[in-house]
């Protein structure tokens, strides 16, 4: 499996934010197939969120166009979301996107409407230094 360009950046940022990486990748059964979500993590710090489990699909948005990358990411997110609801309902799925793409693309009204329609949760990350900028639930 080819890893996303910023896979390790997001992994590092999650650890800095108090998450234990439990799966790299997270394997989920989807019917007769197995899918690989980039990361599985569990919260270690903050008593009120201890034990929280997430799955993170990392996207760099370095393709031909942000719109094309978004088409692919949205389809993949929806597929993974459905599989997780069936097999690992305790996990919340996040789409990890770089802060510059979030600011330039994801804040457009139409894109925000699509994200709300499909209930896409975002993890906005900074590349250097590797940190989580924002969680959008």
Q: Note the pLDDT tens digit of each residue in 113-130.
A: 999 999 999 999 999 999
Q: 3-state DSSP call for residue 86?
A: helix
The pTM score is 0.94
**Each residue of 46-85: pLDDT tens digit?**
555 567 999 999 999 999 999 999 999 999 999 999 999 9
* Closest alpha carbon to 128 in 103, 106, 99: 99
Where are the domains positioned within the chain? 1-51+106-137
| Higher local confidence (pLDDT), 2 or 20 | 20
* Closest alpha carbon to 11 in 46, 48, 52, 54: 54
CATH entry 3.40.1350.10 includes domain 1-51+106-137: yes
Q: Are strands 91-98 and 53-58 parallel, antiparallel or unpaired?
A: parallel
């Amino acid at each position: 499996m080819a890893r996303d360009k910023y896979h390790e950046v997001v992994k590092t940022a999650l650890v800095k934010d108090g998450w234990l990486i439990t799966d790299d990748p997270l394997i989920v059964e989807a019917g007769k197939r197995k899918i690989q979500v980039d990361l599985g993590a569990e919260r270690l710090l903050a008593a009120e969120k201890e034990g929280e489990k997430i799955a993170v699909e990392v996207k760099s948005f370095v393709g031909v166009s942000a719109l094309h990358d978004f088409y692919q990411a949205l389809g993949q997110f929806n597929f993974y979301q459905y599989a997780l609801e069936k097999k690992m309902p305790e996990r919340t799925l996040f789409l990890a996107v770089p802060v510059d793409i979030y600011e330039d693309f994801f804040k457009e009204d139409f894109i925000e409407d699509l994200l709300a329609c499909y209930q896409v949760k975002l993890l906005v990350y900074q590349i250097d230094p590797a940190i989580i900028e924002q969680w959008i639930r």
